[in-house]
Amino acid sequence: MAQREWLPKMWGDWGEDKDSPFHALRKQVDTLFDDFDSGFPIRSGDFTVRTNVSETDGEVCITAELPGIEMSDVDVEIAGDKITIRGEKKSEKDDQSEKDGRTFHRIERSAGSFMRTTRLPFDIDPDKVAAGVKNGVLTVTIPKPAEEQTKTRKIEINEG
């Protein structure tokens, strides 16, 4: 039985050609698996940023993985009790195609805009927030207000 011309030759070629009828299907399936693998992070934009939120008695710390992203393309904004990290990861294809006549045969690295908003149980003082980046990980440290620090206390459990 002869293979139809529009069918891919190998499984790995499914949807690689943008003119292929399988391209849109492959893109949707890849996105589904990306979401499943990442624990269904909130998506706002084209690119998913994975974050961790942790706390101590005195502060909340948010870390965001931003590999390959220029910090000049990232903004951290505070509004009341919300902190928003937004930015854009530029595609290597867009950056290099026109410069040196480069032709890409496969693009698997993600690119696009992103936005993650985290709401905290207190208003954030923007003057006290610190942000830094090391090895592609953005760390934002938010001190808790004094009244929040005193709200948490251990309660003794009595038996009987």
pTM of the model: 0.60
- Rounded Cα distance between 148 and 160, Å, is 32
Q: What mean pLDDT is predicted for residues 107-131?
A: 87
- For 59-108, how does the pLDDT look when each residue is reduced to its tens digit (9 = 90+)? 999 999 998 888 899 999 999 999 999 998 877 655 555 567 777 777 77
Q: What is the largest CA-CA distance in the chain?
A: 81
CATH annotation of 42-151: 2.60.40.790
Contact (Cβ atoms closer than 8 angstroms) between residue 62 and residue 142: yes
For the stretch 12-60, pLDDT in tens is 555 456 666 676 777 677 666 554 444 444 444 456 788 999 999 899 9
C-alpha 125 chain-centroid distance: 24
Contact present, 115 and 79 (Cβ < 8 Å): no
